[in-house]
Chains A and B, each alone.
Chain A
Amino acid sequence: MRAITSFYNKTRYFWRRLLIAFLTLVLVAVFGFLLIKLMPGNPVDTYAQTLMTERRIPFEEARALAKQMLNYDPDEKILVQLGKYIYGLLHGNLGISMRRPDITVNRLIAGFLPWTLFISSVSLFLSFIVGIFMGSHMAWKRKGVGEKAALSYIVVSGSIPDYLWGMILIFVFGVRFRIFPVQGNYDVMLEYEGWPWLLNVLYHAALPVLAYSIVQIGSWALSMRASSIGVLGDDYIYAARARGIPERIIVNRYLRRNAMLPLVTSLALSFAGLFGGSSLMESIFNYPGLGQQFSAFMGARDYFIIQGLILFMSFMIVLANLVVDSIYSLIDPRIRRST
């Protein structure tokens, strides 16, 4: 019993976060539900029409079938509807297409999430690491030529939205010089395995990742610079110099490690931005990810797919927040032991 209590006390912080995360997701689900209610037109009738022509059944029968398949009945009381929806969610049913019964949100996620996750996480980590090094270097060598150049880069890169960088990259590397592919995730001619396939995937990912990273690196570098300037004023930097610790070690072990800690917390927010913005980037590169699917189904006004995808994206963001919190508590000893 005591062991359980102590375990609870040690992990209380985590459980609290988990509870908040869960509540947030419930609220998001309610939000998505209300969104459907607000949509113009009645999705059940629309779907019934489709079923009627497809299966050649009378409208009443089609409508009943539609209610069942969509797990949504506009004739019932609103709370019952909501209850049914949440019940469906808890059983892993995120939603089904209004147009084509064979498409479900679950299937879309299975097929397209990996690509979006691949592009956005590679961009995120690449730009985080480059930005960290760039920002700490800028702070360490202040007023130098390097800092001027880096600041100019940050201003220019930040002034063009990432999706427009995507277009510029396509124009330069895909059309003018034809160095990189500008479409899709890999050559369809290749077999779905082995090194050649993997290299081909990376080759196709190069431009989208670069487009994201160009902007992200600048913003990470800027935050890191500000954070590093703060750390440079701390006593332990001076103390390390007085101990004869070489510059290289001071930058790596003292400056960078301490200055990057507060930045780790913004990783989740940044991930949310990349993940949410994937609709644009993926449609520009015609990359088969979740974002591209999202805008495609949006164009088709497929409410239930949209609802399911929004919920799932929120789930990913909440998850990212949890992961980042755990990482943070691992790398900052002050959090690790005191809570």
Chain B
Amino acid sequence: MIKRFFTSAVHGAVRKCKVVFSNRKAVLGGAIMLFFVLLAVFGPILFPYNPVTDENSKYLAPGAGHWLGTDNLGRDVFRQLVHGSRDVLTIALLTSVITIILGTVLGMVSGLAGGVTDRVIGVITNLFLSIPSFPVLLIFASFFTIEDPVSFALVLSLWSWAGLSRAIRAQIHSLKERDFIQICRVMNLSRAHIIFSELMPNIASYILINFIMIMRNAITGSVGIMMLGLAAFQPSNWGAMLLRAKDSGALLIPEASYFLFAPIVAIMLFQMGSILLAHGLDEALNPRLQA
């Protein structure tokens, strides 16, 4: 059963890849994101970061030695950025993976099982949607001193699955009413068949697009927490860089602009890549928006 799901999924994926690759937005967005992934994986090896401070070389303008200048303590901004990208991307990726698993499983169980299970999950979903996420993230991040990306991602995903779960439940509900699922039922096909061969292919593209958008939200959230200075931070994380820039008065010191804007531009580029890829995928895979 699972095997058949994968073979059909592969065939479908090949066909869909062609559609996706013909979409300019998706290709551009994908290229940007790929660049950041490569940067996070190989960047720190190619451009090792030296955290030693040097009062004499602070706020240097960009040049051959320091591509993006130096920060308030004389450290290379570009290398910090590269070093931090690993932290930022790990958190974003892990958050996305955990959120997608939580949201999809809970949403599908809720939508398929119905009855009491559905109600209980519904109440929990409602609870998580009613408690504002950012303040809770702050509490977790600061009171429980989270330092490693994995726990950070866990905390972030704990408060981002609810919306996805609700959306997936709604999709399952509408799919269940469609003819082809009804036919499966009449034919007495197994539940596994219905889930893996009929439902999954139909929500796969939706999940993929959400995966990208959750990464984007995870970056917004994690950088924000770092920026408030309430989390125990990894000093080269882009949010931590922004915090130091802000606290050292980079807004007011003209020479410090590079220090301030480098992480902002990095975040912007990554987010732009994710938005373009998500929109492109949506256009390519969602027939409703075509024509």
Contacts and interface: CB of A to CB of B under 8 A. Distances in A.
Task: Check whether chain A touches chain B (CB < 8 angstroms).
Answer: yes
Interface of A: 20, 23-25, 27-28, 31, 35, 38-40, 155-156, 158-161, 163-164, 167-168, 170-171, 174-175, 226, 229-230, 269, 272, 275-277, 279-280, 283-284, 294-295, 298-299, 301, 306, 309-310, 313-314, 317-318, 321
Contacts of A314: 130-132
A277 B224 contact: yes
A309 B275 contact: no
Contact of B264 (A23, A168, A283, A313): A168
A163 B242 CA distance: 11
B225 to A, nearest CB: 9
B267 to A, nearest CB: 7
B288 interface: yes
A161 B132 contact: no
Contacts of B230: 295, 298-299
A174 to B, nearest CB: 8
B130 A279 contact: no
Contacts of B127: 24, 27-28, 31
Given A163-B227, A171-B260, A295-B228, A156 B134 contact: no
Given A28-B127, A170-B251, A171-B251, A317 B163 contact: no
Interface of B: 123, 126-127, 129-136, 138-139, 142-144, 163, 219-220, 223-224, 227-228, 230, 242, 246, 251-252, 257, 260, 264, 267-272, 274-276, 279, 288-289
A158 B212 CA distance: 14
A276 B275 contact: no
A20 B269 CA distance: 42
A279 B264 CA distance: 19
A301 B230 CA distance: 10
Contacts of A156: 268, 272
Best-surrounded residue of A38, A167, A229, A283 (most CB of chain B within 10 A): A167
14 contacts: A24-B127, A27-B123, A27-B127, A160-B264, A161-B220, A170-B251, A171-B257, A174-B251, A269-B163, A295-B138, A298-B230, A299-B142, A299-B230, A310-B136
A156 B272 CA distance: 7
A37 B139 CA distance: 13
A65 B252 CA distance: 48
B264 A24 contact: no
A280 B224 contact: yes
A321 B126 CA distance: 11
B279 A167 contact: no
Contacts of A275: 132
